[in-house]
Structure 1
Amino acid sequence: MRTTEETEGFDGEASNTSMISGASSPYQPTTEPVHALNVLGGLRCDLEYLRSYFGILKAVEVVLSIIGFICIETVMMCSPCGGVYFFEFVSCSASVVTGVLLLIFCLNIHTKVPHINWNLTDLGNTAISTLFFFLSSLVLACINQETDAEIAAVVFGFLVSGVFGLNTFLAVRRYRRGNGSQGAAQANDYIRARTASRGEMEARSEIA
């Protein structure tokens, strides 16, 4: 039988061993903070996108939409006010949505959510913004009191409509080019599969 001193010594050695193994264990509480730092570190500004046509157009669209919104917000009196309210809603919505998309593409957030067709999303936003900005600018041009703020809002509205229209044209070309390359890739995969299956059938017939 072990004596009390031997038992206490054994317990002390076991506790020291457990402390050493716990200190060298890979499952440390620092795993979660490191993961958070990796997630934050993955967000980086894509300067190449900002220098591209789409990045420049989006930045111009956001700036012009905000300027148009500021101009329409300085209108103090209106009669009727339907055109003013319509332009106010369109300019505010377009600046917010386009600004969010600009941040998503600049920070490469779209690469972390691949199940969303971002090219189609961008195309839909630019097409809708083009249509509604043109309509709201046309309505405001027809129904206004010819104040400086309203005239400036109309000018910036038609200007940003043209920028959104150019962006829509480029987005349509990009979307068609992307679908064409995807269709060609699928066709090549189908041809490879058929060729492989035929080769396998011929090999089996020769063996037989």
Structure 2
Amino acid sequence: MEQNGWGPPAVDLNFLKSGLGVLKLVQMVLSLAGFIIAEVTASPYNWEQMKAFEWISLTIFILTLAVFTTFLASWHKTEAVVRVNWPLVDFCHSALCTVLWSINLILGLISISWYWLAQEPGAIVDTILAIISLVTFWATVRMSYRRWHLFSPTPTIPYHYQHLGTEPYS
């Protein structure tokens, strides 16, 4: 979608309807929910773990929002950044967020294991959110990895030149 003149960016509705767009929306909602639940339910007993969980969730939300906005507004197709390998950027983002959610899962499990289950409902909910988020980010990593390997920024040599063993521009 092209944007003419000044005004709001063109919204790519195809991205919003795609599997990757839906996964990014779900990931943002889960990250924001994890942040809010950790903020509200952090008790003095596991304050450090829940604060770490909270900040990691907020970081993941901001990173995912940036990538989502870039793809939704079609900024990755503008002249200034057309040479960036966006499938690789998305793959690295998803891999980093998967590692961060793994840390959050460990923090949630530590919070649950140190105290009674009835004392820490927020830690239980955050651990469940971490598991669901890990699954969604793992799906995004797989999708992004496939898109990255299908992305071919350089032209390929036609078959008849490969067959003859000669270069077309010699």
Seen in structure 2, the aligned counterparts of structure 1 residues 154 and 194 have a Cα distance that, compared at 3 Å, is same
1:136-177 deviation line (CA, Å, top 9, x unaligned): 112221234441111111111111111000000111111111
1:133 correspondence with 2:133? no
For residues 132 and 85 of structure 1, the distance between their equivalents in structure 2, rounded to whole angstroms, comes to 14
Higher relative contact order (CA 8 A, sep 6+): 2
Report if the CA contact (8 A) 1:49-1:55 is conserved.
yes
1:187 correspondence with 2:157? yes
Report if the CA contact (8 A) 1:62-1:98 is conserved.
yes
1:122 correspondence with 2:95? no
Q: Give aligned-pair identity as a percent.
A: 21
How large is the Cα RMSD of the aligned pairs? 2.4
Corresponding residue number in structure 1 for 2:24: 58
For residues 153 and 139 of structure 1, the distance between their equivalents in structure 2, rounded to whole angstroms, comes to 9
Corresponding residue number in structure 2 for 1:40: 7
Which consecutive unaligned segments of at least 5 residues does structure 2 have? Answer: none
Report if the CA contact (8 A) 2:39-2:51 is conserved.
no
1:31-54 deviation line (CA, Å, top 9, x unaligned): xxxxxx70426x111111111111
After TM superposition, the structure 1 = structure 2 runs for residues 153-168 of structure 1, keeping only pairs within 5 Å, are 153-168=126-141
Residue type of the partner of 1:168?
Answer: V
Shift of 1:76: 4.0
Corresponding residue number in structure 1 for 2:110: 142
For residues 65 and 19 of structure 2, the distance between their equivalents in structure 1, rounded to whole angstroms, comes to 16
Q: Which has the larger radius of gyration?
A: 1
Shift of 1:196: 5.8
Report if the CA contact (8 A) 2:42-2:122 is conserved.
no
For residues 132 and 37 of structure 2, the distance between their equivalents in structure 1, rounded to whole angstroms, comes to 14
Q: How many residues align?
A: 157
Shift of 1:186: 3.2
Corresponding residue number in structure 2 for 1:111: 77
User: What is the TM-score normalised by the length of structure 2?
Assistant: 0.81
Report if the CA contact (8 A) 2:56-2:100 is conserved.
yes
For residues 122 and 195 of structure 1, the distance between their equivalents in structure 2, rounded to whole angstroms, comes to 34
Shift of 1:195: 4.2
Report if the CA contact (8 A) 1:78-1:84 is conserved.
no
